[in-house]
Amino acid sequence: MAEHVCVDCRALPELPADAPKPTGSRIRAGFRPPRPLATTGGPRSQRCTIHARAHRYAQRVAARTAHKARRFGLTAELQAELWALQGSACPCGAKFSPGEVPAGVAAEHDHEYAAEHCAHDPASGCPECVLGMVCAHCNTEIIGRLTGRTGGRAGALAALVALAEFMNDPPMARLRRALTEVPA
């Protein structure tokens, strides 16, 4: 039975004889492995596990980029520029690898402004409505819930300021300062 070899591994260049051996995987360093890796999905599969995962992730990134282009009118170049301007990170501090916008990053837009400034659906938007790129958690759990619960962007901002003040000076700390004895 013939062994099927990964097409992506075959396409990688050989490691030059005078080059130092890379730490970690030769594939991740961009060189062909010493022995060709077999495909994992049967005779019609074309990729090893490493390249199959990378291919699936690249497809997800391309699909999400195309979705943002259709929904918000953001070209792939504009998305990459916005992402780079943000330092390849969500405002919450979640860091991602620099370069292309990861699949899990969403374009956050102002629904209220979208509804009033032109005649498009507030659920979609245009580049003028987009505020920036945020991680999926911030998009749904923080910004999404706060704007829905507080009635819009202004209410969400007020809630975030109140939460920041709560975290900086908690009520129990104020109570401890006010009272001489606080029960343990």
3-state SS, one letter per residue, for the chain:
CCCCECHHHHHCCCCCCCCCCCCCCHHHHCCCCCCCCECCCCCCCCCCHHHHHHHHHHHHHHHHHHHHHHHHCCCHHHHHHHHHHCCCECCCCCECCCCCCCCCEEEEECHHHHHHHCCCCCCCCCCCCEEEEEEHHHHHHHHHHHHHHHCCHHHHHHHHHHHHHHHHCCHHHHHHHHCCCCCC
More confident residue, 33 or 132: 132
Is the pLDDT at 20 greater than 90, yes or no?
Answer: no
26-61 pLDDT, tens per residue? Answer: 877 788 887 767 777 666 778 888 888 888 888 999
Domains in the chain: boundaries = 74-178
Instruction: Quick: pLDDT tens for 55-98.
Output: 888 899 999 999 999 998 899 999 999 999 999 999 998 888 77
Which pLDDT belongs to residue 1?
Answer: 41
